[in-house]
Amino acid sequence: MGMLKDIERRQTTMNAMSQKTGVNWSKAVEADPSLAKHYRGALIRCTQCAHASSCRTWMDGLETANEAPGYCKNKDLLLRVKTA
């Protein structure tokens, strides 16, 4: 798979995880533009994660979640943005 396709796929996964955990990046960045760099960092971390398949399976079984699973490299960031 090409690098750009992988980034696109992971962005879709990260956005789905954000939605499941109650994070709206658009609103968060609008309220605090400095969060844009954190979004980019989160996407990079997601592309480096070895749990993509587990992540998608975990999300498929849930409507919503209070937080991301323990293996998620963005778990702490998602919690911070959610409560900001």
Is the pLDDT at 83 greater than 90? The verdict is: no
Give Cβ neighbours of residue 16 (< 8 Å, ≥ 6 apart).
59
The pLDDT of residue 4 is: 83
84 or 60, which is more confident?
60
Instruction: For residue 23, give every residue at least 6 positions away whose Cβ sits within 8 Å of its Cβ, in sequence order, or none.
Output: 78, 81, 82
Helix 3-20 with 52-60: angle, nearest 10 deg: 40
Residue-level pLDDT at 84: 74
The whole model's pTM is what? 0.88
- pLDDT tens for each residue of 42-57: 999 999 999 999 999 9
The DSSP secondary structure of 56-80, one letter per residue, reads: HHHHHT-S--SS--TT-TTHHHHHH
pLDDT in tens, 67-82: 999 999 999 999 999 9
> Which tokens in the block code for residue 69?
């699973």
